[in-house]
Structure 1
Amino acid sequence: MESPLNDGLLGEGGVELIGSELTLEGVILAARERYKWMPICVVEEWVILDAILTEDELAKVAAAGCQPMFLFAHKVVHDEQRRFEPGHWVRSTIARTFTEGYLFETRNTVYLLLGPGHRKSSSIEAIFSLF
């Protein structure tokens, strides 16, 4: 399944980042040291979308223990719970943390970012209009 909107918001541009350069097995083992029980989803060709919010909205996000970021990946490599097929795209829910340059944690999943990706700012409306 091709990912939606391969240009514009999800295309090139923004700040270039590099995720993990470990092998699939290596990145999963590294993540398991920190996240013992969370489901893991490994992705490539990813974009971190920083939501542009008002001060009130930012306060609500922070009060919920989240950060105003979402992940979109053009390519799922491996999903432990088989929610997403390899090769398909995925958009996360709002982030709890983004650490080590490749660990993107939401309330119910840890996404492991492999290889190159991008980071961009976007309105929350544009992020939710992707799907």
Structure 2
Amino acid sequence: MTFESKSLARLIHEVNATGNEFKAGCEVEQVDHYIGICNSINSDKYICTVKHWQWWDLDIEGDQKELFGKTGQSQCVIKADYVIDDQLGRFNEGDWVRTSLLQTFHENCIFETANTFYLLVGKGTRRKIDAGLAGALF
């Protein structure tokens, strides 16, 4: 197996690995309620509603870790395997998405990044992932 195929195999394995149950997310019947909350927080931010999601805690070492500490950025992203709706139209229903870094987590289901609210629907999981691998999916 070549270096490239080993790297690709590792990436595929890491991206598809299951995490631990994470008690967050809302029920589909609550989506409209939480869209209202998103709008009350910042009506200028777009909302992307997703399901089949996984919270990734980025495993960051050395200088990068220090940089995150200084900037106050969180070391978390969401990878969702199914986009329900994206207000801006960047993603089609059924697409997958990986967010940018977490800015704030609201109401146990609203993952806010610099530009978007991601509304987490249904059950999800959480796990640690190498930051370089997570970044390879952008």
TM-score (norm 1): 0.83
Aligned-residue Cα RMSD (Å) equals 2.1
Pick aligned residue for 2:43 from 36, 44, 65? 36
Distance 1:110 1:59 in 2: 26
Q: Which amino acid aligns with 2:30?
A: T
Which residue does the alignment assign to 1:50? 57
Which residue does the alignment assign to 2:87? 80
Rg (Cα) greater in structure: 2
1:124 paired to 2:131:
yes
Does the 8 Å contact 1:72/1:89 carry over to 2? yes
Does the 8 Å contact 2:19/2:54 carry over to 1? no
Q: Which amino acid aligns with 2:71?
A: A
Per-residue CA distance 1:91-127 (angstroms, 9 max, x = gap): 1111112232111111111101011001110111221
Distance 1:10 1:33 in 2: 35
In terms of fraction of residues, the more helix-rich structure is 2
**Aligned residue pair count:** 127
1:101 paired to 2:108:
yes
**Identical aligned pairs, as a percentage?**
28
Gapped regions of structure 2 (runs ≥ 5): 1-10
Distance 1:8 1:58 in 2: 21
TM-score (norm 2): 0.80
Distance 2:26 2:39 in 1: 14
Distance 1:10 1:35 in 2: 33
1:14 paired to 2:20:
yes
Aligned-pair CA distance for 1:37: 1.4
Distance 1:55 1:126 in 2: 16
Structure 1 37/102 Cα, relative in aligned 2: closer, same or farther at 3 Å?
same
Distance 2:26 2:65 in 1: 29
Q: Would you identify which runs of 4 or more consecutive aligned residues in structure 1 move more than 4 Å?
A: none
Aligned-pair CA distance for 1:58: 2.6
